[in-house]
Structures are given as structure tokens and as C-alpha cells.
Structure 1
């Protein structure tokens, strides 16, 4: 993207940053207290107690590099509002604390802004068009900067996903620019900030091994085993190990690595989060619940012997299925590996294509989301944001993006459950969705969805009406408070699974264009 073409980017970035400031006084979730407590832990306690502190239920469970990040933020809190750094101040949310933490999210998003600009530079513009607003780079910038999911998760619900996704997007941009060592360094940093990005680590591993460690044979352009570079492998290994040692090294030297890992991978939390992520296990749980009720009705199961509200109690803990076999962590790992294996094989065969890397990354993130253990609903953003890069360049990917972003973003609605945020989330969702449909339709010159896909998305309207209006006002709402979450999760899981299969079909066809409809 030429420098003259990016004159609109500062104004767009400033606009979205100011818009985020409007949500400073909005509702915030328990994640606000989570991060406030982490500020207090890293500031008040010596290093050897960070991952042992448990006076609050919100214990430190991110990798050490994020703990260092919290320690850095605590220095500003120490100067501006010290009471928020007291461990004894549980659930402390004074106006000063809210303002400081909200502003830290907005300020650290500067890295996300820079990463989006770098991604826009990697997008090929349409020739012959002078309309900047309809160029792929501008559409991509809007889809990323004004992403509905990031806005509500970070700036209302409260988290620090913006700068983390900024590191991911910047890493992807470096690989698309063939700066593989820089991309590997950024991804190693990202893994040590938040371990959920292990979802896409297989795609990175295969891509770097094949596109960087194997050198091309100049005679016929092929890639052969004899052209493997151990020097390049050593360089990659050195980068990854150095970052990991800087992050985990102090805890390894103190003999606390097992304790840290037990915090990062708490398998006792159960198969599903309190609000089921819309994935395969949500459907599995729903089927188990249906078969259980049917078994009770047919007197095949004794209701008195069943656990109360099994799997639908809204609690984070281990549950046993009653009608179907219970699922264990090894089973979810096996299912995840099998779901992403074809994508990794495809990338291995076509390692030089940046689009092949992006498709494999998307399939790894969605495969892990659909089959992983204790998946959070917010993890769907790990697929939606990278898919934006393909959506502005490929017609079929644009259709998949509209399905995935609309369904995935709607699945985040239950995160904002207070009445005051209902109009906010509805308006933000409508604005982002309408822009996405309009801009991508104009960019690719024609309809992007099949009739059945449009019908499925239309079903979100009555679903929203039932879950946000009718059920809360009905007697069923008081008796079954988890029912709106259950309906949202089950319906959205169908759409996300469909998108996963569509992406696989697209990969097998090499990202072929969908024929234009008359």
C-alpha cells in the first residue's frame, strides 16, 4: 500500500480510539477484578509467590511474560491510585481504578493499530479504482479496527485482547513480507503472553519448517529434503528458547515450573466453560441432556439418581455425562489433532503460499475451538480476525467471513447481560454487520451467501428476541436461567461448524472463487 493511499489511516485510528473512551463507565465483568488482582499480586508480592497466591479466587493463570506486563502496568497504578494495588481490596472498583484500567487497554491497543496498518500494506489493491473507501486495504482496516467482538470483549466486558491480537497480526504480516525470523520472534513472545495462541502454533511450526528451514532448489523451484538448513532451524530454535527462558527462566531456577504449568493448564475446570462455547461439545452436551430427559420420560433412567442441573448449572467444574460417554482431556486432544491434521498436511505440500499459511492458521484455530478442552467463547475471535485478511482478497473467503463473524459475534452476546448494555451491543453488532455485508459485497461485486446461509443468519433475529426479551420475561426464564445461553450456544455452534467445513472445502480447492450468482 503506497504511503499516499494510507493518509486516511490516522483519522480512522483516532476515531476508533475516541469511540472506545465512550465505554469507560460501562458495565465491566469479573475480568476487571481478575486483572486488578494481578496488578496487586505482581506489585505487592515477591516473584516466588506470584503463582502461589490464592487469597482471591482470581489467581494468576497467564504465562509469566503477561505477569511482567501486569507488573509494568502496576507502576502507573502506584503513582495514580495506590489503593487498587492492595491484595486485601478484593472486588475493588473505584472510579479511579476503573479509569486507569480502561485507559491501559486503550493505550496498549496502539500496538494493534500499528499491526493493522502493517497488514493493510500486505493487501493487494484493486487496479483502476480511485475510490479509497472501496479499496481492500480500507475495508480491511475497518473490519479489524472496528471489530465488534474486540470492542465489547475488551472495552465493555474488559480484557487485553487488543494488543495480544496486535502481536499476532504483526507476526502474520512479517511472514507475508517474508521476514520469517521477525515473525517467529513475535509469535514466541505472544505464546508467552497468553497460551491460548497454542491453538495456531502447529500452523506456525509447519510453515516455518517448510518455508524457512527448507531452501528452494533453483534448478526446478522444488523443495527437497537435501536443501534443509540446520543453521536456519538453529536460528528459529534459538529465538523461541530465548524468549521462553526470559519468561519462564526465573521460575525454572526457583523450581516452580510445575506450579506455573498447573495454573496455565487447570484441567479440573471441566470440559466446558460456565457458558458453553458454541462448539462440538456444546452439541454433545445438548444431546446428552436431551437423551437424559428422554430416558427419564421412558423410565430408563431414575431422575433421583441424576445430578441436579448436570452440565447446565453455569458452574466451572468437572461434570459427568449421564446418557453419553464422558469426555476426557485426551479425547479432546485427539479430536483436535485429527481435525487440524489435513490442514497441516496441505500446508506442508504448499509451504510457499502466504494464503496457504493463513488458511491453515484459521483451520487450526477453529479446530481447537470446536474440539478443545474448556474452550472460552471469546476464543472465536482467534479465527474471525485473521479471516478478515482473506475476506478482502477472495470472494469465497468473504462469504465464509460474513457467516463466521456474524455467528461468532452473536455468540458473544451473553457476555453483556445487563439491560443497559442491550441496546449498545445490538446497535454495535448491526453497524459492524451491515458494513461488512455492504463493503465486501461491493468489493467482490455480487452476492456472497447462498440462500440457506442467508436463512440461517436470519434465524439469529428470532433467537435474539427470544433470548433477550421473551425468555427473561416469561416464567421459564426464572425456572431455567441457563436456557438463553443454551439456545445461543447450540444454534451458533451449527454455524461455526459449517464455516469450519467450508474453509476445509476452500482449502482443498486451493481457495477457488465461488461463481457469481445471477
Structure 2
């Protein structure tokens, strides 16, 4: 208990030091939302266009901003005036920074609860979650509210593991009504809750056959719980639903975000630029005027050589890529110990499929994969290995968000601290099995638990870092090709993300239930639920 408290206090103290640092436009976004919800009547929240940063989160988040605004007025009432665009007084900065730190306690408590379900490595699981460099960089420097949202997700996962399916569904429904990006993992929830709560399977030991029985009452209870949350959220805006949904799903923002997320479309865009260059060298006429996709702008554009991608294409690819994992999740059997841990694995895969193929994916969405995978990393060797690869690549891909030079030492320090914690402790959990499988000596240049090719790829991040921070400017390319370092980072990191997606998908589809390390919570949890 003492160690958990010390970790919490140290990480919270570190967040305090970040208060005066650089903040992105998201700071003004949330300040404006404070002003909108405080100064206007509810029926005007989703219509106001005083600022370009219009309210585009679900209603629960709007109500959160409304509640925070009543505290904010004691710090500086000026931040609540709609006309005070780009307002950033010292008290405004202090309040908004402290609001993120305060809400993070939901994440801390949920991380503690879910870590307590682990039979070994519970402190490591908690430490990996608490020291996540992505949350530190995005929430406490760049500025957003993600920590408490992941707190809801971890609460939902903890409830699912404990067998409280209705509680898990409620937590997740609440989460969706705070931030709809978590729709990425909704298919995993839908399939698992239907299979585990609304269907039961029985087997005949003599014939090895199985049959399903369906519970109408359980389906009704599940539907009532989820629908009630959505009615509570959207009910007050029933007359404005078209306007609300137009804000929540702005499909005209283009295929990629300003900072390319390291996914399939980053590779696709890069391939299109290479083909465009080759075609010009060969005097083949191709479309020009496509520089927007390499200019860091958020807008629609047409590819020069490859087919232009529409939102419908990304939706179909995302759905198709999820289907094998969802089918596997449905057929995982009746043993809840196996089902609950593989639900989380399927959740990770659904998040990855959405990240890899989704429309206008934000680079920050990588945390939706890394956070649950942090918990899985102490539960199985393959999970731990996959976490080492993805957390390294995924967190490094967030570096361009903090582009100011004076932030370079800070982001490197928090990144390397997390890397040291992960690589120094996760392999020790599986040391006996790893040595029996691969021998005592690792390959030359290989990192713990990783092969030589994987290790060399991760070492390549140092080359990318060197070019981005030293060579690009030294060679005088920062004026002529300003987007090149960002494109290089996105494309290089996308290779690691795609590698993780393919290998982890293969693992999930082919693992042997009798051999894979499974979740082993304390006996008291199962005794309480099974009685």
C-alpha cells in the first residue's frame, strides 16, 4: 500500500511542475467550452460559433465543462466570457491545469483497482499505468482531458473481470457519452456482453456438443441500463440531435489529422507521394495541387496517383478487420477466467483496427490501445512482448505534439523513464519461461524479450530522432521541406504499429487456451461472484 501511495504522489508532483509549460490550442478549446456552457443556455451550446473551437464532444462532457465553470469563476471570471478568445491569464492556466490533475484521481483509483486483480506484478501494472508518458505529454503539457476518461474505461474493465456485466456496461455507456472516440472498442463490448451475459452455453460430456440458451430478461436489463444512460445524456438535446451529431461526426475534416497518425493511411499517403514523384520523373501526367496532405492541414484532399479514400471505405475496412477477432471472442468458451482476459485482448485489437483504418484518426488515439495493453503486459508473455514494441513506438509517435525545442529534454526524460520501467521489469516476470525457450544468452543487439529484427527497428527510432532534431535543420531543409520530419516519424512509427497489429492479431486467433498464461485474480472475487 505504501509503494502505491508513493507512486501516486510522485507522479502527481511531476504534473504540478508542468503547469507553466507550453500548451496547445486545446487549452483554448476547453476554455471556450467553459465560457459556452456557463454563459449560454443549454439549447445554444451546440450552435454557438463565437470561436472556431466549437463544442464537439458528447453531452456529458458539456455538463462537465458546465460544472467546472462554476469553480472557474472563483479563479478568474474573465475566462468565462465568450468574447475573450485566446484568453490565458495566470489564474486561468492554473485552474485548467489543476482541473486535469484533480480529475486524474479517477484514473488513479481505477488503475489501483484493476491492478489489485492481478496475482503477481500488480505494482508493476499500476506503475506502467501511472507513468504512461502519453498521458503526461498529452494531458499535462499539450493539454487535454484523457486521464479520467481512461479511468472510466478501467472501471468498466474491472467490473467485467469481476463478473458485474451491468456495471461494466454502465461505465462504458457513461464513457461514450463523455467522448465518442471510445466507439472504437464498442464492438468488443457488444459481442462480449451478448455472449457472456445474454447467452449461456452448456455442453454434453458424452457427445462433446454444445447448445446456447438465451436470456430475454438479461438482454432487457442490459438494454435498459445502456439506453437509460444515453437518454439521460441526449434527452435534454432531443430537439437538436441533427445539430449535435453534425458536431460529433464532422466527416469533412479529411482522411488524416494535421499530425499524421502512424497508421495504414500514413503509409498510403507516403506511397502516393512517392508514386507522384516517380510519375513526374517519367513524364507521366498526374494530378498536382495535393500538397495539403503533407502540409499539416486538416482538410479534404485528393490523392495524386492512388485512389482517393472516402469515409465509407475506411468504415468498411475497419469493420472487416474486426470481424475475425469478434468471432473468436464469441467462441472463447464458457470459462469466465479465459473469456474476461481475452475480452480485453479483443478490445485492444478493435482499438487497433480502428486506429489503423479509421477516418481522421488522431495520433492521441494510440493510448486507447496502449492503456489496456499495459494491464495485459503482466498477464502473458506475448502480451508483454507486444507491449514493449507498441509502447515504445506509440509513445515516440507523440513527440511531434510537443514541438517546442525547450520541451525536448522533458519529453525524452518521461519517455525513457517509462521505457526503463517496462524493459527493466516486464521481462523478469517471464524470465524462467523465456530462458527455457531461448536460452540464457540473447542475440547480439537484441532487447529483452525481443528478436534482433524487432530490436534493430526500435533502435532505428534513435536515427529518426537524430534526423528530426539535428540533421534536418543542419542540412537547411527546415524551410523547404518543413513537413518532412513529421512525415518520417509517422511513416516509420506506422511500420511498428502495423507489425504489432498483425502479430498480436495472429496471437489472438491462434493461441492455445491450455498453454497461454491467463488472468488469475484473487480467489475471493470468484467465490463472491460464483456463489
TM exceeding 0.5: yes
1:343 aligns with 2:325: yes
Question: 2:211 is matched with which residue: 224, 248, 251?
Answer: 224
Question: 2:403 is matched with which residue: 408, 414, 417?
Answer: 417
Unpaired runs of 5+ residues, structure 2, are 435-447, 518-531
The residue that corresponds to 1:14 in the other structure is 9
The residue that corresponds to 2:118 in the other structure is 123
**SS state of the match for residue 382, structure 1?**
helix
Per the TM alignment, residue 509 of structure 1 is displaced from its structure 2 partner at its CA by: 2.6
The residue that corresponds to 2:249 in the other structure is 265
Question: 1:109 is matched with which residue: 104, 109, 112?
Answer: 104
1:372 aligns with 2:358: yes
The residue that corresponds to 2:390 in the other structure is 404
The residue that corresponds to 2:227 in the other structure is 241
The residue that corresponds to 2:72 in the other structure is 77
Is 207-216 or 314-323 further displaced after alignment? 207-216
Question: 1:154 is matched with which residue: 119, 127, 139?
Answer: 139
Question: 1:331 is matched with which residue: 274, 295, 313?
Answer: 313
Distance in 2, matches of 1:347 and 1:272, equals 30
Distance in 1, matches of 2:373 and 2:497, equals 13
Distance in 1, matches of 2:290 and 2:248, equals 30
Per the TM alignment, residue 310 of structure 1 is displaced from its structure 2 partner at its CA by: 3.7
Change (3 A) 1:34 1:473: farther
Distance in 1, matches of 2:393 and 2:48, equals 38
Moved over 4 A (4+): 218-223, 511-515
Residues 157 and 168, structure 2, Cα contact 8 Å, conserved in 1: yes
1:23-53 residue CA offsets vs partner (Å, 9 max, x unmatched) = 0011110110000000000000111110111
Per the TM alignment, residue 514 of structure 1 is displaced from its structure 2 partner at its CA by: 9.3
TM alignment of 1:43-62, pairs within 5 A: 43-62=38-57
The residue that corresponds to 2:380 in the other structure is 394
The residue that corresponds to 1:436 in the other structure is 422
Per the TM alignment, residue 223 of structure 1 is displaced from its structure 2 partner at its CA by: 6.3
Distance in 1, matches of 2:177 and 2:132, equals 25
1:408-450 residue CA offsets vs partner (Å, 9 max, x unmatched) = 0000000000011011111111111111101111222153111
Per the TM alignment, residue 389 of structure 1 is displaced from its structure 2 partner at its CA by: 1.5
Change (3 A) 1:511 1:362: farther
TM alignment of 1:458-473, pairs within 5 A: 458-473=459-474
1:384 aligns with 2:370: yes
Per the TM alignment, residue 311 of structure 1 is displaced from its structure 2 partner at its CA by: 1.3
Return the TM-score normalized by structure 1.
Answer: 0.93
Change (3 A) 1:233 1:457: same
Per the TM alignment, residue 473 of structure 1 is displaced from its structure 2 partner at its CA by: 3.5
Distance in 2, matches of 1:149 and 1:511, equals 33
Per the TM alignment, residue 218 of structure 1 is displaced from its structure 2 partner at its CA by: 7.8
Return the TM-score normalized by structure 2.
Answer: 0.91
Change (3 A) 1:511 1:468: farther
Distance in 1, matches of 2:117 and 2:46, equals 40
Residues 33 and 54, structure 2, Cα contact 8 Å, conserved in 1: yes
**SS state of the match for residue 73, structure 2?**
helix
Q: Aligned pairs, how many?
A: 495
The residue that corresponds to 2:160 in the other structure is 175
**SS state of the match for residue 88, structure 1?**
coil
Per the TM alignment, residue 406 of structure 1 is displaced from its structure 2 partner at its CA by: 0.2
CA RMSD of aligned residues (A): 1.6
Residues 396 and 448, structure 1, Cα contact 8 Å, conserved in 2: no
